[in-house]
Amino acid sequence: MALFSLAVLCSGRGSNLQALIDATSTGTLPARIAAVCSDKPNCTALTRARQAGIATRSLRQRDFPDRAAFDRALFADAAQFAPDLIVLAGYMRIIDPAVVAQWQGRMINIHPSLLPKYPGLRTHQRAIDAGDAEHGASVHYVSAELDGGPVIAQAALPVVAGDTAETLAARLLPLEHHLLVATARLIATGDIALEGGRVVRDGRPLPAPLRLAVDGKLVAA
């Protein structure tokens, strides 16, 4: 039986990508990363991928007439590797709805907030400004709505006195890594899927997103 295959899309430093690379190399995540694709040809994520011996592809939007044409081309590159799942790990672009529809139920994203709170950017500062006691990250299936697809799992941490956007982001990042790996593992093993627009686990709809426990496992909220 072929190993579950991932294509990872990144735009930046690739720390979540590195967590996936490490997890696949140790067997913690029973999958292989077939390719890493990016809209930023010089991003650190591509360097990490090449160092790990993973195929890379990159395109620049300025070489295409519009966003939709760029998205079709980049996702066509990813599709050449026949991934079972596309993982958006710090991919900082809104994807054309027609392209999203082609990958419905086969594409996930990690976002630094407890969705549905704070879709989009500046999530850490927005949580602080709102006086939230808790902040976190979410992994969700991708839909045409920005950060709006069904949420699979979340990791949470307290917002403490004196937190800045930078300190909050730094404390959250390790949890993001564990969350993404744990979620990808459940999808790779077939425990989690998207059916009828709802997240199901072992064939049963999840009443609420799973939560990351201290042991790194995902448990019922």
pLDDT 10s digits, 37-61? 999 999 999 999 999 999 999 999 9
Structural class in CATH, domain 4-219: alpha beta
Return the pLDDT at 60. Answer: 95
Using the structure block, give the residue that is written with the tokens 């602080």.
Answer: 128
Return the pLDDT at 115. Answer: 98
Residue 202 has which token pair?
A: 């072992």
Buried b (16+ CB within 10 A) or exposed e, 70-90: bbbebbebbeebebbbbbbbb
Among residues 68, 110, 63, the alpha carbon closest in space to that of 91 is found at 110
Return the pLDDT at 91. Answer: 96
Q: Cis (ω within 30 of 0) for the bond into 207? A: no
Active-site positions read 111
Digit-coded pLDDT (tens) for 165-192: 999 999 999 999 999 999 999 999 999 9
Could you give the C-alpha distances from 85 to 34, 73, 89, 125, 212, in angstroms and in order?
10, 18, 12, 31, 21
Cα 211 from Cα 137, distance rounded (Å): 10
- pLDDT per 10-residue tile (average), the chain, 221 residues: 93 97 97 98 97 97 95 98 98 95 97 97 98 98 94 98 97 98 98 96 95 94 86
Return the pLDDT at 192. Answer: 97
Host H or E run for residue 124: helix 123-129
- At residue 23's C-alpha, the angle toward residues 52 and 164, to 5°, is 95
The domain limits of the chain are: 4-219
Residue 89 has which token pair?
A: 């790990």
